[in-house]
Amino acid sequence: MDKLVSKAGLLSRNDAKAYIRGGKVSVDGVLKTNPAEKFSENSIIFLDGEKIVYEKNVYYMMNKPGGIVSASEDKKEKTVVDLIKERGNRNLFPAGRLDRDTTGFLLITDDGEFAHKILSPSRHVEKEYIVETDLAIPSELIDFFKEGVDLGDFTALPAVLKILSEKRAAVVLKEGKYHQIKRMFLKYGLKVVSLERIRMGNLNLDENLKAGEYKKLTAEDIGKIAQRG
């Protein structure tokens, strides 16, 4: 029961136990004081007079700021997960890392199965990025990316490149290997000077989110992420 209350109430396990022992929790209308008692996940729980809802998993869209590592924890520095204030005792992690200097749509969740589903190249979930380069982007790069770039240790799957202006383009990938976009451009002699992810599946980065801000996603949003391209 304390596990359920801590997850639903965004509390640590110890705080949840203290609330239960202190007579502040009722389950299905009955006051309960034993944190070890077992309950179904569908129970109606009141904490301090307020109804709290248990969610098996949570999903956040973050507009990742530059300069922060895409990790759950780091001994030395703050991570993207540290920016989530309501994390409670959930094991949140970024589903699909962005480089330290890359900004934009980062999905943070505690649902390992869903993360696997949207990251697996065989599922064809698109990820779209806006890229800025140091030199003008030649139109031959469209075919170069379409054919699949040989990066030595692996060959990238065919990717779509849309040139937006001289040094700006959109790239759509269905996979996400380490430094993949930077390496694909570098293979053609272009350096990526800024990179932002703007879409995962059919869900666009919310333009109202400032760098470092995040929002919880609805079931509909989550469904849109999982849509195949």
Stretch that binds ligand URA, among 48-56, 140-148, 161-169, 177-185 (CB under 6 A): 177-185
- When the beta carbons of 98 and 141 are compared against ligand URA, the nearer one is 98
Q: Does 132 bind ligand URA (CB under 6 A)?
A: no
- Between helix 13-21 and helix 2-9 the angle, nearest 10°, is 110
Q: Does 180 bind ligand URA (CB under 6 A)?
A: yes
Give yes or no: 101 in active site.
no
Tell me, by CB under 6 A, how many residues bind ligand URA: 9
Question: Judged by CB under 6 A, which of 179, 191, 216, 228 binds ligand URA?
Answer: 179
Please, what's the b/e burial string for 57-76 (b: 16 or more CB within 10 A of its CB; e: otherwise)?
Answer: ebbbbbbbebebbbebeeee
CA–CA dist 185, 167 (Å, integer):
12
Q: Does 182 bind ligand URA (CB under 6 A)?
A: yes
Question: Judged by CB under 6 A, which of 59, 68, 92, 102 binds ligand URA?
Answer: 102
Stretch that binds ligand URA, among 13-21, 32-40, 107-115, 178-186 (CB under 6 A): 178-186
CA–CA dist 47, 93 (Å, integer):
27
The closest alpha carbon to 68, from 57, 82, 51, 80, belongs to: 80
Q: How far is CA 137 from the centre of its chain?
A: 29
